[in-house]
Amino acid sequence: MASNIRIFIARRIVTLNRSIRRATHLAVRDGRVLGLGGAEICDRFPGMVDDRFAGDVLVPGFVEGHGHTSAGLMWRDPYAGFFPRVGPDGVRHEGLTSIAAVVAKLRALDAVLPAEAPLVVWGFDPIYFGGPRMTLADLDGVSTTRPVLVAHISGHIHNVNSVVMARAGFSRDSNLDGLLRDANGDLAGEVQGPAVMARVARATGHAGLQRILDVPALWDYAAIARRVGVTTSTDLVNALDDPNVAALKAATADAAYPIRLVPAMRARDYSVPDGVARITALRGQSSDKLHFGMVKLVADGSIQGFTARLRWPGYHNGRPNGLWYIAPAEFEQIVTAYHHAGAQLHIHTNGDEASDLATDMVSRAVAAHPRPDHRHTLQHCQMADEAIFRRMAAAGMCVNLFANHIHYWGDQHDAVTMGPSRAARLDACATALACGVPLAIHSDTPVTPLDPLFTMSCAVNRFTASGRVLGADERITPAQALHAVTLGSAYTLKLDHLVGSLDVGKFADCAVLADDPLEVDPLTIKDIPVRATILGGQVFAAP
């Protein structure tokens, strides 16, 4: 028996286990925690001692409760975002800080691409530039012979050239929501929302975040996760059709694959009866590294893209209200069917009108079909106020707030989309906790970089990109933030019995850190180096 036990020694082990809050020794057998404590663990559980992390701090492996494994696919296309980003290979890609710079990059790419290939870049967001948005003329100036597609970082909007518009069947006479028009009523080349973006995908052969996965992409995503201490991650929008399921199973079946995956089925790819049948069938195919059972609904779009649904007084700059991705009249039927079938719902709601509606629909479903411990979760839920959170708590709901948004779009929400008073409640972590709503926080990678220590910092410090504090009263403590990226996230995934804390019988999953995020200056949490991850007792050095 001793040969099957490994004992990790660390300077400190933060367990998030109420019975043994801190330790220095962790005994592991068969991939699970066997014992926790001090030096006596070596006597009680004799085995191989591993002291390579004796000067480091172990915390439960980070759980990314809203990520997309398609982040591993996105880097196959050139990056055209505003902020610098690091790819799966560790290479840094500089940001582009004007529309002119994006167009210049497109022209350089056009000059070297084969003539028949579509030209696609990703990461764009015009809200950072001010002034006019990208136009059809900008992209027609790049090419009038090949499809040109500029994917916005939100995943909810594309800019395209006239070739794409024609192939998708869009014209001035098209009467479709989501086709942006200029002051003369002509198409501007910006397409918003799933209905019109699906036609663009067919016209270009490029489905963005919704592309079919392959095993190399899943390994690239795992490389990103290892670098930042993530041991469990969602793939929070996946068709879960046969090709995607096959890729997920193949990657996670490899003993060397370093993370656990929790995909959510994209409900709009199925009729409600077919979707219920699909998720029911998949539940029985879970494994230690692959967990099925969640369903993803998307109620609205993106606040910074002006496609999210807001309550009065609407957008601060006077833009029209956003799009319903699910018609309110259909929402209740869909929510009730999946709730009654025993699925767990994860519902994308950015604007407060969408959060309000989703909370109502879940509350009605729970009243009609009482089901204890359903843990339906609102994802992003950026502008929910105290009244919405109280109703969520009463309905047994959870929330996963997009804390990174405070840094990446906080300044823009204050000045452009929300105005100063509403922007102060952006991703209101403190209010959610005060109202008793179980809390997770996330990155929505690839929308923002995957990095739970940075996400913790956003929730604790609430600094925007310009360095100002946005909504000081919504700051939470480092301990609350660490819980939100570990046990809190695990709870929203119904996996808190397996991951999220270190306790006997749970998977021995850890992030190995150079320092303790509960002890350092809160301003430096984001700077703590990640030394390695441990998954089921197996050590993976950070790439």
Judge whether 8 and 531 are in contact, CB under 8 Å. no
Query: How far is Cα 483 from Cα 206, in angstroms, rounded to an integer?
Result: 38
Q: What is the pLDDT of residue 210?
A: 72
Which DSSP symbol is given to 472?
A: G
Q: What is the pLDDT of residue 209?
A: 64
Q: What is the residue whose two structure tokens read 């059972």?
A: 293
Domain CATH code at residue 357: 3.20.20.140
395, two tokens: 């309905």
Give the CA count within 13 Å in the CB-facing half-sphere of 98.
4
Determine how many CB atoms are found less than 10 A away from the CB of residue 216.
Answer: 14
Query: How far is Cα 143 from Cα 163, in angstroms, rounded to an integer?
Result: 8
Say if residue 219 is in the same domain as residue 182. Answer: no
Judge whether 480 and 426 are in contact, CB under 8 Å. no
Closest residue by Cα to residue 533 from 524, 523, 521, 543? 543
Query: How far is Cα 424 from Cα 418, in angstroms, rounded to an integer?
Result: 9
On whether residue 65 sits in a domain, the answer given is: no
Say if residue 414 is in the same domain as residue 522. Answer: yes
Last residue of a domain, one of 178, 210, 242: 210
pLDDT surpasses 80 at 208: no
On whether residue 2 sits in a domain, the answer given is: no
How many percent of the chain have pLDDT more than 90?
95
Q: What is the pLDDT of residue 486?
A: 98
Which DSSP symbol is given to 446?
A: T
Average pLDDT over residues 441-463: 98
Closest residue by Cα to residue 90 from 443, 457, 542? 542
Closest residue by Cα to residue 506 from 51, 9, 6, 17? 17
Say if residue 516 is in the same domain as residue 437. Answer: yes
How many percent of the chain have pLDDT more than 70?
99
On whether residue 43 sits in a domain, the answer given is: no
Last residue of a domain, one of 178, 195, 210: 210
Say if residue 286 is in the same domain as residue 204. Answer: no
On whether residue 243 sits in a domain, the answer given is: yes
Q: What is the pLDDT of residue 196?
A: 93
What is the number of domains present in the chain? 2
Say if residue 183 is in the same domain as residue 232. Answer: no
> For residue 116, what pLDDT band results from cuts at 50, 70 and 90?
confident
465, two tokens: 């990109």
Q: What is the pLDDT of residue 491?
A: 98
Q: What is the pLDDT of residue 500?
A: 98
Say if residue 369 is in the same domain as residue 403. Answer: yes
Say if residue 261 is in the same domain as residue 162. Answer: no
Q: What angle do CA 328, 331, 334 make, to 5 degrees?
A: 165
Q: What is the pLDDT of residue 206?
A: 77
Domain extent for 189: 71-210
C-alpha distances (whole Å) from 215 to each of 31, 247, 303, 368, 533 are: 24, 5, 33, 42, 21
Say if residue 251 is in the same domain as residue 313. Answer: yes
Q: Average pLDDT, whole number, for the chain?
A: 96
Q: Which long-range contacts (CB under 8 A, 24 or more apart) does 79-85 make?
A: 79/121, 79/122, 79/123, 80/105, 80/106, 80/121, 80/122, 80/123, 80/124, 80/150, 81/122, 81/123, 81/124, 81/125, 81/153, 82/123, 82/125, 82/128, 83/408, 83/465, 85/123, 85/449
Judge whether 230 and 533 are in contact, CB under 8 Å. yes
Neighbouring residues of 539: CB distance < 8 A, sequence distance ≥ 6: 50, 52, 532, 533
> For residue 543, what pLDDT band results from cuts at 50, 70 and 90?
confident
Say if residue 124 is in the same domain as residue 81. Answer: yes
Query: How far is Cα 375 from Cα 14, in angstroms, rounded to an integer?
Result: 26
Query: How far is Cα 61 from Cα 36, in angstroms, rounded to an integer?
Result: 16
Query: How far is Cα 534 from Cα 214, in angstroms, rounded to an integer?
Result: 25
On whether residue 15 sits in a domain, the answer given is: no
Judge whether 347 and 379 are in contact, CB under 8 Å. yes
Q: Tabulate helix, strand, coil % of the chain (nearest 5).
A: 35, 20, 45
Last residue of a domain, one of 179, 210, 241: 210
On whether residue 540 sits in a domain, the answer given is: no
Q: What is the pLDDT of residue 1?
A: 43
> 385 by DSSP, 3-state: which?
coil
Per-position DSSP letters for 387-411, written without gaps between them: HHHHHHHHTT-EEEE-THHHHHHHH
Say if residue 443 is in the same domain as residue 407. Answer: yes
On whether residue 60 sits in a domain, the answer given is: no
pLDDT in tens, 475-500: 999 999 999 999 999 999 999 999 99
pLDDT in tens, 24-41: 999 999 999 999 999 999
- Helix ranges (DSSP H) in 233-380: 242-253, 272-283, 328-340, 352-368
Judge whether 156 and 307 are in contact, CB under 8 Å. yes
Task: Look up residue 459 and give its amino acid.
Answer: A
On whether residue 158 sits in a domain, the answer given is: yes
Judge whether 155 and 192 are in contact, CB under 8 Å. no
C-alpha distances (whole Å) from 271 to each of 56, 294, 337, 364, 463 are: 50, 16, 11, 21, 43
Rounded to a whole number of angstroms, the CA Rg of the chain reads 23
Closest residue by Cα to residue 192 from 264, 133, 128? 133
Neighbouring residues of 92: CB distance < 8 A, sequence distance ≥ 6: 84, 85, 86
Domain CATH code at residue 107: 3.10.310.70
Judge whether 264 and 283 are in contact, CB under 8 Å. no
Say if residue 501 is in the same domain as residue 419. Answer: yes
Q: What is the pLDDT of residue 23?
A: 97
Say if residue 185 is in the same domain as residue 236. Answer: no
> For residue 3, what pLDDT band results from cuts at 50, 70 and 90?
low
Query: How far is Cα 479 from Cα 490, in angstroms, rounded to an integer?
Result: 16
pLDDT in tens, 375-408: 999 999 999 999 999 999 999 999 999 999 999 9
**The model's pTM:** 0.96
Q: What is the residue whose two structure tokens read 């967990």?
A: 291
pLDDT in tens, 124-167: 999 999 888 999 999 999 999 999 999 999 999 999 999 999 99
